[in-house]
Structure 1
Amino acid sequence: MTLDMADTSALTSENACSSVYNEVKEYYGKILKQSSDLKSNACVPSAKSVPEYVRKVLAEIHQDVVAKYYGCGLVVPECLEGCSVLDLGCGSGRDCYMLSQIVGEKGQVTGIDMTEDQLEVARKYIDYHMQRFGYKKPNVNFVEGYIEALAEAGLKEKSYDVIISNCVVNLSPDKKSVLREAYRVLKDGGELYFSDVYSDSRIPEDLKANKVLWGECLSGALWWEDLIRLAEEVGFSKPRLVTASIITVGNKELEKLLGDYTFVSATYRLFKLPKGSKEQPCLAIYNGNMTGAVGSFEFDAQYTFKANQVMEVDGDVASILINSRFSEEFTFQPPGVNVSGRCYSKPKDVSINPFELVKQLGIARVTSSTGGCCADSESCR
C-alpha cells in the first residue's frame, strides 16, 4: 500500500470525517466524565519522570481541569519563556494552564478543541488561574475548531513558536491535514512537540470503525513509519524521537478485538526549518542555562547535551539547533576544530523505531490507567 493510498482511505472522505468528529465529541464530551472512565491504558503516564519545576506548576491547576485530562505523555519542551504556543486538542486546558506559567506573562498560549463540553471547563477557570499565577491579564485563550482546519478557526500562518499536542492526533481521521496545518501556522524555526499513540503496523478499516477502540486512542493510531513519511512529505525535518513506552491495553474485550496489534506512547519533535537551510555536521557546546535543563539538555533519545561539553552533531540536528529557538543556547564550531579544555561526549546509538527504543533503554511497560502523569493531584506535589 502506498502512502497516498493509506492517507486517502475511506475515513478521510468528508462524510466519514464528520462521523468521526461527532463520535469523538460524544465520547469525550458525554461518555467520559473523568479520566477514571477510560476503558484502556492508552492514556498513560510519561516514560520520563516529571521535572520538579513542572510538578510545581501542575500543582497550581484546578482539579476540575485535571480530572478531565486524557493525555498520554508529558508535552513540556524546553526554552519556552516568552513563546507563543498552540495546543492542538487542548481538551479541558490542563496543558495550556501548565504552559501558561512556563511561558510567563509575556508569552501566549492558545488551545484549540472541537468538543464544546471540554472547552466549557477550560474557559470556566481562566480567571481563576490568572489570579493564582499573579497575571494582570490572561495569557491563555481557547478556540473552538478542528485541528485539521486551523485556518478556518482563525489561526494565522507563521504565528506560533511551538505547537504541542497530547494524545490527540490519533483521534483525527485526517492526520496529514493535521501536520500540514501545524506546519502552516508555525514560524520558521518553530517546533511541533507532541506525544501520541502509535501502532506496530497499519490498523485495518474494520478496527478503525469501532467507536470504543477509536475513542480510546487505539484504532486511530498511526503506524509509526507512516508518521515519519507524512511529516517529511508535509515539509518538516526528520522527526526526532524523544521517548517511548509500550502500552498494555488492560481490557480483555478490547485486547481480543485488537489481536496481535501492539501500541506505544511516543513523543516526537518536528521542526519547520527555513527554506534552503544547510544540513552540515558541526560541534555544539551547550551553555547549560535553559529552565528545566540546567546542566544537561536531553534533546531526544539520541542526543543529551551536557553543559560546556563538546558534542559532534549530524547535519540534521545541527540545522535544527542553529535555526530554532535553541540557537542562543549553544556555541557552534566547524567539525575538526580543536576546542581546548573541553570534554567531548558522543550521541547514543539508538533506534528510531519507538518499539525498539523501549527494548534498548529497558523502559518498563506501562500498565496503570491513570489518565496521564498527574490524574492524581498528590502525585504532582
Structure 2
Amino acid sequence: MCTNPKDTCIPEYYGKYLKNSKDLKTNACVTPSKPIPRYILDALKEVHSEVTSRYYGCGLVVPECLENCRILDLGSGSGRDCYMLSKLVGQKGYVTGVDMTDEQVEVARKYIAYHMKKFGHQQPNINFVNGYIEDLKGAGIEDQSYDIIISNCVINLSPDKKAVLREAYRVLKDGGEMYFSDVYSDKPIPSELKQNKVLWGECISGALCWEELYQIAEEIGFSPPRLVTSSYITVNNKDLEEILGDYKFVSATFRLFKLPEKSVKEKGRVIYNGGVTSCETEIQFDANVTFKEGEVVEVDEELWTILKSSRFSDEFLFQNAGGANSCQKKKEIIRNPFQLAEEKTKLPQPPSNGSCCGPKGCC
C-alpha cells in the first residue's frame, strides 16, 4: 500500500514495471463500462499508438456536451483520454492532464504537436502537468477553472480519496461536473489486502467501498453521486483470486455536480431539446434517468438544479411544476453499483460497436 501520495510504489508500477497494458495481471484496469459510441471510437483511432499502448483505465469517461469546455483529467497517464477529448472539445476548448508518473507524462507530452496537426488545431488546446491529484494547487491548478473533471481508474490508487475529491471541488466552476470511472468494493478493504502492492497497483485493494463515496461527496459539498453504469470485474488470476476471497468488485461510473451555493431548488418539468452530439434523440443521463427529445419529464429539486445550473441548461426547456399533482409512480432509484451490475448480467448484452477494449487493453 502507498500510505503517502508521494510514495514511489505507484510511479514505479506504472512507469517502470508496466511497459504496456499487456503487463497487467488482472482486467480491472481495462474493463470497459459500456459500449463506446462511434464518434469516440473515431477520435480514439487518431491517437498515436505509443500513447494508446500505455493506457490503463477501467471505463469510458466521456460525458455529453463537451464542445468548448475546459476539462481536467486526473491521473492522465500517457494522455490517451486527453487527446481524444482534445479533438471533441474543439479549438475553443482546453484539456489539461495531471499525472504523478514522470515516464507517463513524458510519453504524453511527446505527441502534442502530432495530435494538433492530426486534429487540424491551429494552436495547442492541451497540456500535461506533473503533479499529485491530492494537491492540484501544488500543480498550479487554480480555483474554479474547469467545467468538467474526468478520472479513469485512478482515485483508487490514492491513499487519500477525500483530498482528491476536495481538490476537485475546489477547481470546478459552479455548475461544473466530475465524471469519473473507478473500482469499488462491496465492503471495506482490510489493511492486510491494502499491503499487497500488486493488488494496489492493479486498482483492486485501494478501491473504496461504494457507500463511502456517498459519505465523502456529501461531506465535501457535492450533490449526491449519480450512478451512470457499472460492470463486474473478474480477476482472472488464480493467486490473486485466492488472496481476495469473497470480496467483489465493480467498475462503475458516477457523476458529481458542484451546485452554486445560492441556487434555487424546486421541482419542475423539463423537455430535452435534442441535438447533442451522439445523443440527438435521447440522453441517458444516468442509470435511472433518460431524457427523450420533446418528452416532458417531471424531475425533483436536485435534478432540476443540476440541469439548470450546469452546461446542460441550454439543452432543455424548463417548466415550473405549479400546483398540479403528479400521477407518476415513483420508481426505485438505483444507487448501489453492485445492484446495477447484477441487473445487467440478466439482460442481453448490447453489441460492442467495434470497441476493442479487453484484457489486452484498447487499440
**Shorter-chain TM-score range:** over 0.9
Amino acid at match of 1:104: G
Q: Which residues of 2 match residues 306-321 of structure 1 at below 5 A?
A: 306-321=292-307
Task: Report how far residue 94 of structure 1 moved.
Answer: 0.2
Aligned residues of 1:350 and 1:357 also touching (Cα < 8 A): no
The reply to whether residue 105 of structure 1 matches residue 91 of structure 2 is yes
Displacement over 3 Å in runs of 4+: 344-350, 361-365, 370-376
Cα gap change, 1:360 to 1:337, in 2 (>3 Å): farther
Amino acid at match of 1:215: G
Deviations 1:36-61 (A, max 9, x none): 11001102332321111111101110
The corresponding residue for 1:275 is 261
Cα gap change, 1:212 to 1:147, in 2 (>3 Å): same
Q: Which residues of 2 match residues 1-381 of structure 1 at below 5 A?
A: 16-18=3-5, 21-335=7-321, 349-361=332-344, 362=346, 375-377=361-363
Deviations 1:320-351 (A, max 9, x none): 0011000110001112589xxxxx99886342
Aligned residues of 1:127 and 1:138 also touching (Cα < 8 A): yes
Amino acid at match of 1:356: Q
Distance 2:68 2:279 in 1: 17
Amino acid at match of 2:47: I
Distance 1:67 1:114 in 2: 18
Task: Report how far residue 292 of structure 1 moved.
Answer: 1.9
Q: Percent identity?
A: 59
Amino acid at match of 1:224: W
Deviations 1:7-45 (A, max 9, x none): xxxx79xxx3056x3100000001101111100110233
SS in 2 for 1:110: strand
The corresponding residue for 1:8 is none
Amino acid at match of 2:334: S
Q: Which runs of 5+ in 1 are unaligned?
A: 1-10, 339-343
Amino acid at match of 2:100: M
SS in 2 for 1:43: helix
Amino acid at match of 1:246: Y
Distance 1:233 1:267 in 2: 20
Distance 1:35 1:354 in 2: 25
Tell which deviates more after alignment, 328-337 or 191-200.
Answer: 328-337
Cα gap change, 1:376 to 1:179, in 2 (>3 Å): closer
Aligned residues of 2:27 and 2:358 also touching (Cα < 8 A): no
Distance 1:336 1:281 in 2: 9
Distance 2:348 2:19 in 1: 29
The corresponding residue for 1:341 is none
Distance 2:343 2:195 in 1: 34
Deviations 1:110-139 (A, max 9, x none): 000000000111011111100100111110
Aligned residues of 1:112 and 1:144 also touching (Cα < 8 A): yes
Amino acid at match of 2:215: R
Aligned residues of 2:21 and 2:360 also touching (Cα < 8 A): no
Distance 2:5 2:151 in 1: 21
Distance 1:114 1:74 in 2: 21
Distance 2:113 2:155 in 1: 29
Q: How many matched pairs?
A: 354
Amino acid at match of 2:49: Q
SS in 1 for 2:118: helix
Distance 1:374 1:95 in 2: 17
Amino acid at match of 2:137: A
Distance 2:133 2:347 in 1: 31
Distance 1:216 1:69 in 2: 13
Distance 1:185 1:285 in 2: 30
Amino acid at match of 1:353: N
